[in-house]
Amino acid sequence: MQSPVRGTPSARPAVMQPAAAPREINAILNAIEIGVYGMDAAGRCTFVNKAALEMLGYTHDDVLGRNMHELIHHTYPDGTPYPRSACPLLQSLETGKPVQLDNEMLWRKDGSFFNAEYSAFPVLDEDVVTGSVVTFQDTANKGQARKRLGVQISVSRILAGSSERDTALTQVLGTIGSALGWHVALFWEVDDGERVLRTTAAWAGPDAVGEPFLSATRDTTFARGEGLPGRVWQTEAPEYITNLAGDSTFLRRVAAEAAGVRTGFAFPVKAGARTVGVMEFFSRRWQHYDENFVDSVATLGQQIGQYLRRKRAEEDLRAAKEEAEEANRAKSQFIANMSHELRTPLTAVIGYGEMLEEEAEERGLDTMLDDLRKINASARHLLTLINDVLDISKIEAGKMEVHLETFDVAHLISELSGTVEDLVARKGNRLIVECPADIGTMHSDPVKLRQSLINLMSNAAKFTENGSVRLEVERGGEGESAAIVFRVADTGIGMTPEQVAKVFQRFTQADASTTRRFGGTGLGLWITRSFTTMLGGDIAVDSVPGEGSVFALRLPADSGAHRADADAREEQEPETLEAGGANPVLVIDDDPNARALLSRFLTREGFSVRTASDGVTGLELARELKPRAILLDVMMPHMDGWAVLSALKADPEVADIPVVMETIVNEKGLAFSLGAEDYLTKPIQWPRLKKVLERFRSTPPARALVVDDDDSTEGLLGELLEKEGWSVIRAHDRDAVFARLAENRPSLLLVDLNMSKANGFALVRELRRLPEWRDVPVVALSSHELSADERMRIEGHVQQIINTEDDAPEALLSVLRRIPLRHSRRGGTPEKTHG
Amino acid sequence: MAKILLVEDHEEIWDFLSRRLTRRGYEVVVAPDGQQGLDKARSDAPDLLLLDMNLPVMDGWTVAQTLKGDDATKSIPIIALTAHAMAGDREKALAAGCDDYHAKPVDFSKLVDQIEAALASRGGAS
């Protein structure tokens, strides 16, 4: 690359007289990254710029008036003295001709050196050389800023890519190392179990000289505070060792010397406030401390740390999910095996029982016949229970298959009447069947329809004495909406509205005393409803206590046409209970009655509610609505609650939304391991639900500290915040911020980055460095798109950067709504810590 | 008098089933595993097979496939007996060549209906 100062002497501007140089020129000299000094005709320093002093490690007073050759150019690389007479720059004072040296060694105050482009431009006054302007530039540093930015982008790309964790880390080491002139790099990871640092990724430059050093270091571990990585782990600050061989705190001196590495540098890799590892770089060249470099790798450290934390979370989640799926598979297999094992002996019981019954009948053994009939009835009952459990496990596992065929409805009904006749008659009930003989055929699953109708009719018979059970069948609708309605009406004890609401829940009967009086598991109606849904139909109940109940089962005449769009219709289910307002509670439950009950309860408690009837819709709604909380049912067909929970927690967009699981059995360990906020066991105890939900209400006015020196923006912001229920305090500059902080701890800081009186970037970074305020979430506001460099300086320090010009107020609102919630939940709930 | 070959490994089940079938007037031959079932199907010329699917030595699907692949035995109707009643069991049994399917536990009168139907269709076919 061409040096920007290279040129002909005549093109030089007259910047020679420092006293006369206008302030602007001084400012320019101090702003550029190239070292510049002036010397008089005798080679003594007349002025020097900031970059030169920084590169050389001298102060202004150290160099002014000194012979610069003696000071910084005194020795050849091989250690022999560099006489004045041999220095081309000094010669140029005599020739008056500019001179440029491409690769010269310049010595720092601390004895180290660096390679530089070194040029002199003599200044002529009427053909007399009065002095010279000298420029120098660290060749290793040339274009460093651009390189650093390039590294930043490459690292971000690697971390966002799909590489395996350790591969990505090695790539990161290589990218930083090769771009910024380091030869060996190591990543030390905190081993949580042993509390030591251990290398999990390493890189050596292509010249392989680093390899012996790497292998010497690979099996070493460092305790906290021990050696370079251990110290960085402890102090959580970058550390630079310019001369490894001369540093007694560097424990791998011998190996380093053998490998020829001279300079070492390490910085902490942090996930939030926690140091998760240390990155170490070594160079075979003397590298001097470079603040910009250290700053930029500190940003990288945050970025890598967050990546590691994300990877760790993903791994944990995957493991937990696999565990949960495995447990679920084992459960399904167990139930399948168990039902098989139970059925074999039951087959024998029923078989022998029936055989004995036949024999007893033939021989006229009436007393024995009665008892045998009871045994057989009980065995049959046991069989239906086992079948129900098997059905439920199949439905839940999504393994219940539908076999559609075309059949004659009247024929199925007449067969069915024969089957249930005895059952209905048992309690002195009359069976009335009304089915038009010409009702025709339907295309559905006859086995499931038969089972559903038997369930409904045996249920009707169970709760009715000396009355009637009526089955009416009729065809309704036309074309695609053609349906067959099966209505089962009884004259039994009926149900109250509360009982009706619960009637389709699993394991729940109208009330506990029902179980004692009438027996049964309460599974039949749930199965019936599940079958009905599978066939694209619906079921409704109408009941009057003391008068009886009517169950109306409506199935499409052609289930084949209806099942395909069953899901679509579910989604369009009118959300009658949805109340207005933002941040609703999302209820995901396949059971419409549970949805209705929960919605009613939540609405009464002042929450707005949205519902989803399956996991996929639930996930979509969660992403769309960003609800305040999610109530999630575990037992759902196709995608169960655990799968939904895992998906929610794997999506950064919705991972923060608290999820409350509704489980039948107590599985809180699983719930918490998958990231649930809390759990409830079904049937839901309303007082407990209420208590859980209280936590998700917006907390009483949280305090927001707005740091801005522009009253108009601040006014708008304040309004927005206050409308959201925040109490707003204000500060115009750094001192005011600390004064306000001292008075009362805010829940949120909003910092304008474009202030004229204060430096928003510096303020944010200062706050992050103070342990006391590190936890307060900061939202940065900017009226323009941040440059990559600005972004680099602030990323990892703030919760969110909001562009006040471009981002809609909604962006700010959605951040605001989440922050107090997240913050107040810090530390978890008592239940959770016990879980 | 129709001769039924009952291939079933559970003693309780073949015991009561064979006794009840005998009471209904069938002649019953019992085989306790798949291999013996296959052998007896070839040697005893039964009119019908009641074939359990989960059998030792040789499973029921193999027995069904072998018999249906052999001209000498392919016309013997086979009713599969399975205890699984899981989705796909029925398809698997029919795919193996069974003519009908009966899920355990045995519904005896229904099974007798199925036997009669199978024998009748065979009679009609031959």
B125 touches chain A (CB under 8 A): no
Nearest to B87 among A344, A348, A400 (CB): A400
Helices A524-534, A366-396: crossing angle, 10 deg rounding:
50
Tokens of A468: 């009637």
**Given CA atoms A659, A665, A666, A672 in this order, what sign does their dihedral have?**
negative
b/e A24-39 (16+ beta carbons within 10 angstroms → b): eeeeebeeebbbbbbb
> For A798-834, what is each residue's pLDDT tens digit?
777 777 766 556 666 666 665 544 443 333 333 333 3
Bridge partners (DSSP) of residue A504 are none
B85 touches chain A (CB under 8 A): yes
Apex A628 CA angle, A627 and A634, nearest 5: 75
Run of H or E residues at A242: none
**Given CA atoms A157, A158, A159, A163 in this order, what sign does their dihedral have?**
positive
Question: What is the predicted pLDDT for the residue at B48?
Answer: 95
B120 touches chain A (CB under 8 A): no
Whether the per-residue pLDDT at A597 is higher than 90: the answer is no
Lowest average pLDDT, out of A450-464, A721-735, B38-52, goes to A721-735
Residue pair A822/A799 in contact by the 8 Å Cβ criterion:
no
- Interacting residues of A610 by C-beta distance below 8 A, sequence separation 6+: A575, A578, A584, A585, A586, A587, A621, A625, A627
Whether the per-residue pLDDT at A179 is higher than 70: the answer is yes
ipTM of the shown complex: 0.78
Q: Report which of A282, A112, A105 is spatially closest to residue A182, judged by C-alpha positions.
A: A282
Largest distance between two CA atoms of chain A:
146
Apex A563 CA angle, A562 and A569, nearest 5: 75
> For A53-109, what is each residue's pLDDT tens digit?
988 989 989 999 999 998 998 888 777 888 888 888 888 888 888 888 877 888 888
**Chain B residues with CB-CB distance to A344 below 8 A:** 10, 13, 83, 104
How far, in Å, are A486, A552, A558, A632, A772 from residue A479 at the CA level? 19, 21, 10, 37, 71
Q: Report which of B7, B92, B11 is spatially closest to residue B46, judged by C-alpha positions.
A: B7
Confidence band (pLDDT; 50, 70, 90) for A725? low
Residue pair A98/A112 in contact by the 8 Å Cβ criterion:
no
Distance of CA A279 to the CA centre of its chain: 25
A-contacting residues in B 6-65 (Cβ below 8 Å) = 10, 12-13, 16-17, 19-20, 23
Distance CA(A619)–CA(A726), nearest Å, equals: 30
Question: What is the predicted pLDDT for the residue at A575?
Answer: 39
Bridge partners (DSSP) of residue A280 are A186, A266
> For A653-705, what is each residue's pLDDT tens digit?
888 888 998 876 666 667 777 778 888 877 677 778 888 877 777 555 567 88
Cβ contact B83–A345 (<8 Å): no
Residue pair A304/A159 in contact by the 8 Å Cβ criterion:
yes
* Greater pLDDT, A795 or A15: A795
Tokens of A761: 């970037």
Query: Beta-carbon neighbour count of residue A280 at 10 Å?
Result: 25
To the nearest whole angstrom, how far is the Cα of B39 from the nearest Cα of chain A? Answer: 25
Cβ contact B105–A350 (<8 Å): yes
Apex A635 CA angle, A521 and A641, nearest 5: 165
Identity of residue A179: A
Residue pair A177/A184 in contact by the 8 Å Cβ criterion:
yes
To the nearest whole angstrom, how far is the Cα of B84 from the nearest Cα of chain A? Answer: 6
Tokens of A610: 């949205």
Distance CA(A218)–CA(A198), nearest Å, equals: 8
To the nearest whole angstrom, how far is the Cα of A349 from the nearest Cα of chain B? Answer: 9
- Is B79 buried (19+), middle (13-18) or exposed (0-12) by CB count in 10 A? buried
Distance CA(A630)–CA(A618), nearest Å, equals: 9
* Greater pLDDT, A667 or A230: A230
B84 touches chain A (CB under 8 A): yes
| Strand A239-241 with A263-271, pairing | antiparallel
Run of H or E residues at A133: strand A128-138
Find where tokens 């490459």 sit: A154
Whether the per-residue pLDDT at A549 is higher than 80: the answer is yes
- Interacting residues of A521 by C-beta distance below 8 A, sequence separation 6+: A385, A388, A507
Residue pair A251/A217 in contact by the 8 Å Cβ criterion:
no
Cβ contact A343–B83 (<8 Å): yes
Choosing among A355, A362, A396, A534, which should be mutated to test the B contact, i.e. which has the most B CBs within 10 A? A355
- Interacting residues of B88 by C-beta distance below 8 A, sequence separation 6+: A401
Phi/psi at B47 (5° precision): -85, -20
Confidence band (pLDDT; 50, 70, 90) for A18? very low
Order of all β-strands in the sheet with B48-52: B27-31, B3-7, B48-52, B78-82, B100-103
The secondary structure of B90-121 as a DSSP string is HHHHHHTT-SEEEESSP-HHHHHHHHHHHHHH
Comparing alpha-carbon positions, the chain B residue that sits nearest to A398 is B87
Question: What is the predicted pLDDT for the residue at B28?
Answer: 95
Q: What is the DSSP letter of A193?
A: T
Confidence band (pLDDT; 50, 70, 90) for A628? confident
Cβ contact B106–A394 (<8 Å): no
Question: What is the predicted pLDDT for the residue at A516?
Answer: 46
Distance CA(A477)–CA(A710), nearest Å, equals: 67
A338 touches chain B (CB under 8 A): no
Comparing alpha-carbon positions, the chain A residue that sits nearest to B85 is A340
Confidence band (pLDDT; 50, 70, 90) for A510? very low
Residue pair A488/A550 in contact by the 8 Å Cβ criterion:
yes
Cβ contact B105–A347 (<8 Å): yes
* Residue A536 falls in which region: left (phi positive, over 0), alpha (psi -120 to 50) or beta: left
> For B41-96, what is each residue's pLDDT tens digit?
999 999 999 999 888 888 888 898 899 888 888 889 999 987 655 556 677 788 88
Helices A144-160, A291-363: crossing angle, 10 deg rounding:
0
How far, in Å, are A86, A135, A593 from residue A93 at the CA level? 13, 15, 96
Bridge partners (DSSP) of residue A260 are none
How far, in Å, are A800, A819, A821, A827 from residue A824 at the CA level? 18, 8, 5, 8
Find where tokens 């209905």 sit: A424
Question: What is the predicted pLDDT for the residue at A824?
Answer: 39
Run of H or E residues at A154: helix A144-160
> For A385-428, what is each residue's pLDDT tens digit?
788 777 777 777 666 778 888 889 998 898 888 878 888 888 88
Nearest to B16 among A344, A348, A390 (CB): A348
Residues in chain A: 835
Largest distance between two CA atoms of chain B:
36
B-contacting residues in A 704-743 (Cβ below 8 Å) = none
The secondary structure of A759-805 as a DSSP string is -HHHHHHHHHHSTTTTTS-EEEEESSPPPHHHHHHHTTTSSEEEETT
**Chain A residues with CB-CB distance to B84 below 8 A:** 336, 340
Provide the terminal-to-terminal Cα distance of chain A, rounded to the nearest Å: 63
Confidence band (pLDDT; 50, 70, 90) for A714? low
Q: Look over chain A and give the mean of its residue pLDDT values, rounded to a whole number.
A: 78
Q: What is the DSSP letter of A327?
A: H
Choosing among B22, B23, B104, B109, which should be mutated to test the A contact, i.e. which has the most A CBs within 10 A? B104
Nearest to A351 among B23, B87, B106 (CB): B106
Bridge partners (DSSP) of residue A663 are A681
Run of H or E residues at A277: strand A274-283
pTM above 0.90, yes or no: no
Tokens of A513: 């005393």
Confidence band (pLDDT; 50, 70, 90) for A572? very low
A400 touches chain B (CB under 8 A): yes
> For A145-168, what is each residue's pLDDT tens digit?
667 777 777 887 788 777 788 888
Q: Report, as an integer, the average pLDDT of B13-33.
A: 92
Q: Report, as an integer, the average pLDDT of A767-778.
A: 79
Find where tokens 């060996």 sit: A184
- Is B25 buried (19+), middle (13-18) or exposed (0-12) by CB count in 10 A? exposed
Find where tokens 């074939």 sit: B51
- Interacting residues of A390 by C-beta distance below 8 A, sequence separation 6+: A335, A336, A339, B85
